Amino acid sequence: MSVTPVLDLRGIDKSFGPVKVLHDVSFTARAGEVTALVGDNGAGKTTLVKCIGGIHPFDSGRYLWQGGPIRVDSPRDAAALGIEVVHQDLALCENLDIVQNMFLGRERRRGPVLDEAGMEELAASTLASLSVRSMRSVRQQVSSLSGGQRQTVAIARAVLWDSKLIVLDEPAAALGIAQTQQVLELVRRLADKGLAVVLISHNMNDVFAVSDRIAALYLGRMVAQVNTADVTHAQIVELITSGRSGELGLAREAGAPAAGPPG
């Protein structure tokens, strides 16, 4: 496993007007690992992810990619690096089939016409590489898929583009037990394929089932980044709710910052 993180953020600050949402946040994600990003509503998770994905510029701090400093000023910049964010709403078009969704906005052409056969083959091989066998056909309309299958399509679309870092925002939200297990197994396979995976989740059982490391945000501050095997559920809950658990997290004399908008 590479010692140099794929993503290394250092001292990130982000404000919206007078409200400071991220305070001196450092965060790393490594190839072959699932890093769970946890925190209560308003902790700054979404803002941090939008900074990673180029939606929001940060006010100060350093953005290192594979060990080198870079600027990411737009989602296009992030995608060019190999960063894909799968948002909670999935951004799938129900009236299109799986192939059309996976290539939406990035369609392949053969001369003046779409390369339908090539896209279909690549979509099928990508799903197969992730050991996804639950689809009847890659030409199924998304409207006919279950919640777990839709999440799988969104994740496979991210993998399709030679990604190095995939950010998953609550991928198992609103799924049943069996579908949640399928999605978590897929998340694990992404890391086993050598990708850096950032998983945002409120479900501690899911976090402990699939993650290698946990990064806990509290009111816009990164209070701990720890190996999952080294902490308990109770410690992570304490970090999320109070910013401190024993020797982990904020020092006792540190004052808590003002809460930001839901993040």
At 26-59, the pLDDT tens digits run 999 999 999 999 999 999 999 999 999 999 999 9
What amino acid occupies position 164? Answer: K
Residue 107 vs residue 132, higher pLDDT: 107
**Please, what are the domains in the chain?**
1-82+163-263 (3.40.50.300), 95-162 (no CATH)
Average of per-residue pLDDT across 7-34: 96
Mean pLDDT of the chain: 89
Average of per-residue pLDDT across 131-145: 86
Give 263's pLDDT tier (boundaries 50, 70, 90): low
What CA–CA distance (Å, rounded) separates 261 from 263? 6
What integer pLDDT is reported at residue 258 of this predicted model?
43
**Per-residue tokens: 211:** 């993650």
Residue 251 CB: number of other CB atoms within 10 A?
A: 8
> Strand, coil or helix: what is 104?
coil
Length of the chain: 263
Q: Where are the alpha helices (DSSP H) in the chain?
A: 45-52, 75-81, 98-102, 116-129, 147-159, 177-192, 204-210, 233-242
Within 8 A by CB and 6+ apart from 108, the residues are 114, 115, 118, 119, 122
What integer pLDDT is reported at residue 252 of this predicted model?
60
What integer pLDDT is reported at residue 262 of this predicted model?
44
**Per-residue tokens: 124:** 């099928």
Give 219's pLDDT tier (boundaries 50, 70, 90): very high
The residue behind tokens 């689809």 is 135
164-213 per-position pLDDT tens digit: 999 998 888 777 788 888 888 889 989 999 999 999 999 999 999 999 99
Strand-pair partners of 213: 35, 227
Global pTM value: 0.85
